[in-house]
């Protein structure tokens, strides 16, 4: 038997029967290729012969030609590969022992799982080799490994089965009735802001939401308001990574906003009995809520991922907040800052899909809004240091308070806007809000109040 059909190195994960039955079923009836084609790659097969046979099938399909033993044998012959694959006899033998009732989905899953395990073993061996060589800084090795693992996970998710509408509804929790129920229109995690929830349907698992603003607009306050709603009201775990403020400062802001106590009075120590009681109640509420703070300076995606995985081992994460994107590090990178931020934003999107939770990433804006005459509202091109932030994000929102630019206008005091400049799954537009200076807190406008889920 030739080398292309020689079994793999002993011990590597593989299931040759599953591979043979997949290929044999297509040779017997090429309508099965539709079920297999988008879900497997030639590299997913463990034997080189199986990879060449499947690649020949892909080539035939690409030319809209029929796939059977004769056409595949001819395609292999064109590339001088037929004999190395065991000849026509091996093609004929592929369906030997194949069950009468095929479990093709099961075979595909087995082959993909074994391929993933082999790739993980290869990554591990390469990682060990780099570690033992002593030629690189550990941070460089960590960064490269992080990228490899995130891309591997993303590749797994991208090759999911093609589904009919009926199959999608079967997988939808509650089925058709739940899909059509107006009371269940909020598909994602509620933010606590009625108009924003109405425009977005909530922030969905796997989404990257970028909230950007110029300094002093209140982007941290807005994110903490959402975190409080998710953790306290919805009782869903929310993780806040702050690269700028300490854990104690975050807790102070959150409890003062929820207890409606002036943060300046709190910091100065001027509190009356009523304020102290409200703060105690607010702190008690927070200690019972699944809210997690991390203030590691310059945290990178790898560290963030490992911390989220530890929390996920106990309970699903409902939301992740990062304050802010430009302060994150990308160890071992030597490219320019734009490329570094691009890698971070892309990694953040992959991380959102990996942990199956929405990630809110706060971001800086360039000084361009300040230079504009009249209207200082931000636009997408103002996103600082990388155009890929806009590309990677599912939603981009700008927090804007005109009073920051026109401090003499009393009629603007306390008025705020969230400008939805991009939304992959919904409309763009404006959400009007109220900003309470003394509490560093955003609230719904009175006319927007209703049931906030």
- The residues that are catalytic are 244
Pairing of the two strands 441-444 and 429-436: antiparallel
Pairing of the two strands 359-364 and 319-323: parallel
Q: Are 226 and 360 in contact (CB under 8 A)?
A: yes
Nearest to 357 by CA among 290, 432, 408, 280: 290
What is the signed CA dihedral for 106, 112, 113, 116, rounded to 10 degrees? 180
Q: Are 106 and 37 in contact (CB under 8 A)?
A: no
Residue with tokens 């959400």: 431
Q: Are 263 and 282 in contact (CB under 8 A)?
A: no
CA 160 to chain CA centroid, nearest Å:
16
Nearest to 18 by CA among 118, 108, 97: 108
- In the 3-class helix/strand/coil scheme, how is 283-334 assigned residue by residue? HHHHHCCCEEEECCCCCCHHHHHHHHHHHHCCCCCCEEEEECHHHCCCCCCC
Alpha-carbon gap, residue 270 to 77, rounded angstroms: 87
Strands across the sheet containing 441-444: 291-294, 238-242, 319-323, 359-364, 208-213, 395-400, 415-423, 429-436, 441-444
**DSSP secondary structure string, 165-212?**
HHHHHHHSTTHHHHHH-GGG---SB--S-HHHHHHHSSBPTT-EEEEE
Q: Are 214 and 369 in contact (CB under 8 A)?
A: yes
Q: Is 174 left (phi over 0), alpha (psi -120 to 50) or beta?
A: left
């Amino acid at each position: 038997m030739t080398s292309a059909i020689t079994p793999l190195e002993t011990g590597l994960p593989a299931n040759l029967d599953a591979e043979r039955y997949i290929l044999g079923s297509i040779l017997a009836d090429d309508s099965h290729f539709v079920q297999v084609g988008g879900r497997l790659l030639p590299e997913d097969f463990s034997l080189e012969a199986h990879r060449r046979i499947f690649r020949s099938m892909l080539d035939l399909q690409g030319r809209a030609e029929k796939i059977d033993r004769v056409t595949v044998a001819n395609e292999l012959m064109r590339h001088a590969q037929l004999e190395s694959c065991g000849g026509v006899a091996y093609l004929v033998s592929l369906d030997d022992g194949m069950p009468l009732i095929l479990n093709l989905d099961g075979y595909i899953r087995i082959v993909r799982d074994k391929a993933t395990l082999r790739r993980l073993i290869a990554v591990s061996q390469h990682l060990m080799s780099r570690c033992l060589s002593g030629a690189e800084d550990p941070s460089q090795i960590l960064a490269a490994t992080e990228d490899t693992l995130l891309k591997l996970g993303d590749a797994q998710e991208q090759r999911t089965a093609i589904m009919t509408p009926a199959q999608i509804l079967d997988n939808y929790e509650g089925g058709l009735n739940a899909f059509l129920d107006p009371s269940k229109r909020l598909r994602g995690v509620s933010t606590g802001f009625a108009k924003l929830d109405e425009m977005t349907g909530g922030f969905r698992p796997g989404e990257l939401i970028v909230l950007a603003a110029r300094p002093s607009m209140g982007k941290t306050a807005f994110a903490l308001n959402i975190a409080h709603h998710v953790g306290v009201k919805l009782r869903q775990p929310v993780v806040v990574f702050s690269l700028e403020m300490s854990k104690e400062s975050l807790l102070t802001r959150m409890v003062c906003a929820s207890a409606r106590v002036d943060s300046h009075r709190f910091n100065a120590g001027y509190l009356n009995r009523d304020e102290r009681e409200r703060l105690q109640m607010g702190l008690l509420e927070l200690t019972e809520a699944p809210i997690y703070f991390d203030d590691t300076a310059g945290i990178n995606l790898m560290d963030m991922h490992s911390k989220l995985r530890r929390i996920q081992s106990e309970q699903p994460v409902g939301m992740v907040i990062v304050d802010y994107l430009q302060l994150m590090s990308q160890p071992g990178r030597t490219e320019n800052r734009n490329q570094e931020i691009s890698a971070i934003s892309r990694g953040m999107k992959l991380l959102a899909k990996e942990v199956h939770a929405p990630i809110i990433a706060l971001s800086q804006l360039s000084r361009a809004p300040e230079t504009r005459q009249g209207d200082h509202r931000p636009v997408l091109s103002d996103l600082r240091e990388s155009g890929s932030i806009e590309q990677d994000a599912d939603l981009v929102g700008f927090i804007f308070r005109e009073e920051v630019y026109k401090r003499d206008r009393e009629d603007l005091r306390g008025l705020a806007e969230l400008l939805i400049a991009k939304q992959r799954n919904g409309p763009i537009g404006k959400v009007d809000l109220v900003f309470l200076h003394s509490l560093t807190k955003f609230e719904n406008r009175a006319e927007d109040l209703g049931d906030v889920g």
